[in-house]
Chains A and B, each alone.
Chain A
Amino acid sequence: MTASKKIGQQTIAFSNPPVIVSTATVVGPEEGSGPLAAFFDKILDDDRYGEKTWEKSERRMLEDTMKMCLQKGGVQETDVDYMLAGDLLNQIVSANYTAKVLGIPFLGLYGACSTMYESMALGAMLIDGGFAEYVLVGTGSHYATAERQFRLPVEQGAQRTLTAQRTVTGTGAMLLASQGEGPRITHATVGKVIDLGQSDPMYMGAAMAPAAADTLTTHLKDIAGEPSAYDLIITGDLGVYGKKLTLELTKQKGMDIKDNYTDCGILIYSPDQDTHAGGSGCGCSAVVTCGQIFRQLQAGKLKRVLGIGTGALLSPLTTGQGESIPGIAHAVAMETA
């Protein structure tokens, strides 16, 4: 027996597409002075956020974002059936501690920077499967906590390569429901882990682009659609060079997406912010999706969007041991009536 809601190889077509009731975003000062500032709910003056440690700052940002999202959706914590969240820190502590405060039944996720889309896909499945009425999903990252975990101390002087990206300080949350007003999640394509042997942690766009291209072409094949079926196709955090590689790889698979394709990591900062290849981190696709994309869908400026969260599944340990970096990408199609 085949699964009734599955089409093609890897795609789910929701029979009652779940609604995105509300979103919320909190970003740091660097992101708040970028070109997307107008789409964020809260911009911090100080990315320490009055906390003693950077990890606490990240946690508080995630907590505030989740609470704001519930408030905007007019829903109490006790009405929410599940919370799905994750982050970049060891043992996903930011999400765990946030779940402790909110007291919502919690499933922790790790999809590196693809976590936003992983949680959206799973949240939509829980709702369409009849297991939940409301699901709260979200993730975030912080420049200082990511630097310390994956790279060097923040004040350590170093010249980064031009392909390096800046981890976004930002958290995004989304409230999904079985009914209500708002854009709907119509499809989700769960990606495969793909590794074409890239191992440079300062060039993660190259590590993730094959996964993005694979998920994208699989999705379009599964729905039997052309790239033009979407007003916008947007990847999570491939950056300038990862975008170029994705364009090239999809072209080789016989699809031309250059007219309606961009990347969250490119949009979030302006070139004069000197972040080199753009933004990265869980927060990157989270704040762009929950900020700009959600609002433009709500306003009807965008009708159909395919978002593809991209994750580089490395750890400082595997990098130290010289392993290559596997990539993953999950696609979620959003549509407004």
Chain B
Amino acid sequence: MVGVKDSQPAEIQNRQYKLLVDRVKPRPTLARNVFWAFVVGGSICLVGQFISVFFSSLGLNLEETGAATASTLVFLAAVLTGLGYYDEITKLGGAGGIVPITGFANAMVSPAMEYKTEGLVMGVGAKLFTVAGPVLVYGIVAAWLVGLIYYLVL
């Protein structure tokens, strides 16, 4: 039994209360989440594979096939976001829906839709990167660091 008493100093009250809060907090349904992340993420990759096989059958080389596949997936994710389905996919799949390139498309299209009401400049223009911005910034910084290490070590 965790006691939170008014007579205790604030710090102790806070610590005692935190114990109680953590005890009441439900455990995340980890096994279920991992399973659906695998199914959703895997399905997106499978669709990507089909698209990739299709483009290479048209005679595109490896690089061109990669680019065409990525843009097709981005397009599909943008359409699904616009129709209001992509958030449902991610709700089920978690990281399985966020990590693939389709998740990035969703992170770009949803603020564009959301902030359209504030105009094209100060709305869409200024807020387009609210969700994807951090990913880009730290992705690029990480790339610099890796490049620097590569230059110095190798």
The reply to whether the CB of B81 lies closer than 8 angstroms to some CB of chain A is yes
CB contact list, B10-45 vs A, under 8 A: 13-14, 17-18, 20-21, 24-26, 28-29, 33
CB-based contact B24/A155 at 8 Å: no
CB-based contact B14/A153 at 8 Å: no
A335: min CB distance to chain B, Å: 29
B85: min CB distance to chain A, Å: 9
The reply to whether the CB of A296 lies closer than 8 angstroms to some CB of chain B is no
* Distance A154 CA – B117 CA, assembled complex (angstroms): 13
* Distance A153 CA – B114 CA, assembled complex (angstroms): 6
The reply to whether the CB of B90 lies closer than 8 angstroms to some CB of chain A is yes
CB-based contact B87/A155 at 8 Å: yes
A10: min CB distance to chain B, Å: 14
CB-based contact A197/B17 at 8 Å: yes
A270: min CB distance to chain B, Å: 18
A192: min CB distance to chain B, Å: 11
CB-based contact B87/A252 at 8 Å: no
CB-based contact B91/A206 at 8 Å: no
Knowing A153-B113, A198-B17, the reply to whether A158 touches B28 (Cβ < 8 A) is no
Knowing A197-B17, A252-B3, A252-B4, the reply to whether A155 touches B25 (Cβ < 8 A) is no
Residues of A within 8 A of B103 (CB): 157
- Please tell me which one of the listed residues B5, B84, B117 contacts residue A252 in the complex, with CB atoms under 8 A apart: B5
Interchain residue pairs A-B with the least CB separation, the first 8: A157-B90, A153-B114, A197-B14, A155-B110, A153-B110, A156-B110, A159-B94, A196-B17
Q: Which residues of B does A touch, CB under 8 Å?
A: 3-5, 13-14, 17-18, 20-21, 24-26, 28-29, 33, 81-82, 84, 86-91, 94-95, 97-98, 103, 106-107, 109-111, 113-115, 117, 130-131
